[in-house]
C-alpha cells in the first residue's frame, strides 16, 4: 500500500517552502519549526552531549493535520539546529498520525515510543503504541513488530480509542511507560506498561485513576523522581476552573506522591497547576548530564485561535523556554536555566525591544509595565494591594479567541511577589515569580515588531 505521507516528501516540502514563511511574529529564542504547525514536545532527551527535541508537526499547513515528528537539537536552548523529520504516518499502524511519545537511550541507540493513530470506519478508531530506533540519532527505523501495545491489553473499563502519549523510563533494570487513557466513566486514567527490552510490552496496572473533578481526559503523562520523591505530570482536558487556577479550558498539572511498586500504583499527595498564563500545555522533561530535571512545553493550548494561522503566515505554534525543576513544599519550583538567563541581555525601559531579553525586578510596591503602544499592547506586572502577578492581552489589537465561557484576556497568580524574572521574546513573555513559586507564560502578537517597554502607573488586573 502506498501512503500519502512520507519522510522524504515532508523534508522536500520543508526545504522547498520554508522561505515563504512570514517571520513577523516568529520568536528569536523560543523554538519554532521551519514551517507548518507544531504542538506537543516529544522525545525530549539529552543524547551524546546535545539536547534533542522532537515535536508534533504538520509541515503542510499552519493548522493541525496528520501528525509527523519534527526534530531539532541544541546545546544552549538559545539556538537550534533543525534536523530531518524523524517520523511520518507511513505504515498501517500509524497511517492517520504519529501521535505524541517519548525517547530513551539503550545500548547507545536512541529509541522512540509513540502512539499510532488509526481511523477505521468499520472497526472503530484505534490508538496503538509503536517503537522506532536510531543508531545516529537522526534516521529512525520503525520496528517490524509494531504495534507493541494495543487496546486489547487494557482492562474493559478503559476506552481503547483513547490510549496515547507514552512516556518511557527505566527503573531497577525494567523499562516502564506511563500512557494516557480515558476511563469509561469519563475521567482520566494513567496506564503503566512494562518491558525488559523495549520491544515486548505488557500491561502492569492502572497507575492512577482520576476523579470527576479532575478533567475528562488526561494527556501527555510524565513520571520522574527527584531526591526520592515521585512526581507525575499530566495535562487534563476541561479541569474545573477555580478562581485564579485552571482558567484555561485545558491545563497542565504536577502531582506529588509516592508509588507502591508492589501494586504499581501512584498515590497522590498534592496536585498543583504548573503555569497560570495563557499558553502552556503538554510539558515533557529530561535529565541532562548535570542531573538537572528540565521541562519544556507547547506554548499554546487547545481551543484557541492562532493569529499566525489566521494571517496565513504559514507557521503556528512554539515551545516555552526550558525550566529546571526543584522540589518545593507541596509541588515544584520552576527556574529558567541559569546559563540561559546569563546569556540574555537586560531589556532597558522606555526603549524599543529589539531583541529577546530579560527583566529582573524585586518589587517593594506595585509595579506595572506596558509593552507596545496605546491600542496595541500587552500589560504585565505586580499589584501589591491584591498580591496579584498578571499578564493582560486585552489591549492587543490582534484578538485571540477561546472556547472558554469566561473572559480570557487576563491571566493572574495570587501570590506575594518578592522577585519577578521575566523573559521577553518577539511574541512571548514568561514570568517566574520568587524563583519559581509561580509561573505565567503567554504569547502575544503586536503589529509593531519593536514595541516600547515602559513602566506605567496604570494597573491592568481585570478582564474589562
Cα angle vertex 148, ends 33, 211, to 5°? 75
For 339, the 3-state DSSP assignment is: helix
For residues 251 and 279, give the distance between their C-alpha atoms in angstroms, rounded to a whole number. Answer: 9
What would the grid cell of residue 5 be? 505521507
Residue tagged active-site, from 40, 165, 383, 425: 40
For residues 450 and 428, give the distance between their C-alpha atoms in angstroms, rounded to a whole number. Answer: 13
Question: Is 269 a residue of the active site?
Answer: no
For residues 446 and 419, give the distance between their C-alpha atoms in angstroms, rounded to a whole number. Answer: 26
In angstroms, what is the C-alpha Rg of the chain?
Answer: 21
- DSSP readout, 212-270? GGG-SEEEEEEEEEETTEEEEEEEEESPPPBTTBS-SSB--EEEEEEEETTTTEEEEEE
β-pairing verdict for 331-336 and 323-328: antiparallel
Residue linked to cell 516528501 = 9
Q: How far is CA 187 from the centre of its chain?
A: 21
**Catalytic residue IDs:** 40
Amino acid at each position: 500500500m502506498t501512503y500519502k505521507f512520507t519522510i522524504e516528501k515532508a523534508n522536500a516540502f520543508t526545504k522547498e517552502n520554508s522561505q515563504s514563511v512570514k517571520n513577523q511574529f516568529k520568536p528569536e529564542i523560543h523554538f519554532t519549526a521551519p514551517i507548518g504547525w507544531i504542538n506537543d514536545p516529544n522525545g525530549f532527551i539529552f543524547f551524546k552531549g546535545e539536547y534533542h527535541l522532537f515535536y508534533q508537526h504538520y509541515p503542510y499547513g499552519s493548522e493541525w493535520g496528520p501528525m509527523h515528528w519534527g526534530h531539532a537539537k541544541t546545546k544552549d536552548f538559545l539556538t537550534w539546529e533543525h534536523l530531518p523529520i524523524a517520523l511520518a504516518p507511513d505504515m498501517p499502524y500509524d497511517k492517520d498520525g504519529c501521535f505524541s511519545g517519548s525517547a530513551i537511550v539503550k545500548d547507545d541507540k536512541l529509541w522512540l515510543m509513540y502512539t499510532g493513530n488509526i481511523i477505521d470506519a468499520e472497526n472503530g478508531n484505534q490508538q496503538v503504541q509503536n517503537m522506532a530506533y536510531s543508531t545516529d540519532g537522526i534516521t529512525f527505523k520503525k520496528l517490524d513488530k509494531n504495534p507493541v501495545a494495543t487496546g486489547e491489553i487494557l482492562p474493559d473499563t478503559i476506552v481503547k480509542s483513547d490510549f496515547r502519549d507514552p512516556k518511557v523510563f527505566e527503573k531497577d533494570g525494567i523499562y516502564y511507560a506511563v500512557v494516557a487513557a480515558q476511563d469509561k466513566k469519563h475521567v482520566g486514567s494513567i496506564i503503566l506498561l512494562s518491558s525488559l527490552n523495549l520491544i515486548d510490552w505488557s500491561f502492569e496496572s492502572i497507575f492512577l485513576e482520576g476523579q470527576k473533578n479532575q478533567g475528562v481526559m488526561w494527556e501527555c503523562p510524565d513520571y520522574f523522581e527527584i531526591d526520592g520523591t515521585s512526581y507525575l505530570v499530566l495535562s487534563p482536558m476541561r479541569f474545573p476552573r477555580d478562581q485564579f487556577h485552571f482558567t484555561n479550558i485545558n491545563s497542565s498539572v504536577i502531582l506529588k506522591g509516592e508509588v507502591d511498586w508492589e501494586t504499581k500504583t501512584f498515590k497522590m499527595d498534592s496536585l498543583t497547576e504548573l503555569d497560570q498564563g495563557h499558553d502552556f500545555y503538554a510539558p515533557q522533561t529530561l535529565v541532562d548530564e548535570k542531573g538537572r530535571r528540565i521541562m519544556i512545553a507547547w506554548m499554546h493550548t487547545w481551543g484557541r485561535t492562532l493569529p499566525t494561522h489566521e494571517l496565513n503566515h504559514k507557521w503556528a505554534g512554539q515551545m516555552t523556554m526550558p525550566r529546571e525543576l526543584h522540589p518545593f513544599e507541596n509541588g515544584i519550583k520552576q527556574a529558567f536555566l541559569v546559563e540561559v538567563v546569563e546569556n540574555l541581555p537586560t531589556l532597558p525601559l522606555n526603549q524599543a525591544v529589539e531583541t529577546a531579553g530579560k527583566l529582573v525586578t524585586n518589587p517593594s510596591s506595585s509595579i506595572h509595565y506596558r509593552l507596545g503602544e496605546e491600542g496595541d499592547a500587552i500589560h504585565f506586572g505586580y499589584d501589591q494591594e491584591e498580591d496579584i502577578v498578571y499578564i493582560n492581552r486585552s489591549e492587543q489589537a490582534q484578538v485571540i479567541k477561546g472556547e472558554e465561557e469566561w473572559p480570557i484576556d487576563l491571566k493572574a497568580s495570587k501570590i506575594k511577589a518578592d522577585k519577578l524574572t521575566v523573559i521577553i521574546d518577539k511574541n512571548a513573555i514568561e514570568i517566574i515569580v520568587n524563583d519559581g513559586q509561580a509561573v505565567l507564560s503567554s504569547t502575544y502578537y503586536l503589529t509593531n515588531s519593536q514595541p516600547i517597554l515602559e513602566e506605567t502607573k496604570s494597573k491592568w488586573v481585570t478582564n474589562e
